[in-house]
Amino acid sequence: MAPPPWAFISRRGLREVVLWLLSDKPMNGAEVIRAVEELTWGFWKPSPGSVYPLLKQLEAEGLAKRREDGRYELTEAGRRAVKLIPWAKIPRPGAPRNIEEVVEELESWSMYLADVATTEPDRIAPYRERIRKIAEILQKV
């Protein structure tokens, strides 16, 4: 899961999202912009005029530091700040960690495919045979 949609509404939202992203790994400004865009499925692509001043501000506040490779990483104060973000405990997007999460993901994706098959059958048509084979494999589980 990712930050809730309302997290992206304001400049403060960008601050929290950037802190959250940096808690995962060091990034430079371009990587932050791309990560936000990917996280929001293209809904929001923050401008360099928003991201780079924010990174400098986080550095000035002692929440992040710029490494020699140009990437920013959180300081201990930055890690503490992330813990204060209400939604920061939401798991990172990525691979499921256990069988229950795999089943939940499969259920969500199968519901998505069913909706696409209903509303846009031409989009799903090229994949019907592969989907059928996957369903056969799952039937054996």
pLDDT cut 70: percent of the chain above it = 86
Q: Which domains does the chain have, with CATH numbers?
A: 5-83 (1.10.10.10), 99-139 (no CATH)
Q: Are strands 72-74 and 64-66 parallel, antiparallel or unpaired?
A: antiparallel
Can you name the residues that pair with 84 across neighbouring β-strands?
none
Span 65-95, pLDDT tens digits: 999 999 999 999 999 999 998 877 766 666 6
Q: pTM value?
A: 0.60
Residue 11 near residue 47, CB atoms below 8 Å: no
Nearest to 72 by CA among 29, 26, 35: 26
Span 122-137, pLDDT tens digits: 999 999 999 999 999 9
Span 35-51, pLDDT tens digits: 999 888 888 899 999 99
Q: Give the chain's mean pLDDT.
A: 87
pLDDT for res 2: 58
Distances (CA, A) of 102 to 34, 74, 107, 114: 27, 31, 9, 18
Angle of helix 11-22 versus helix 76-83 axis, rounded to 10 = 120
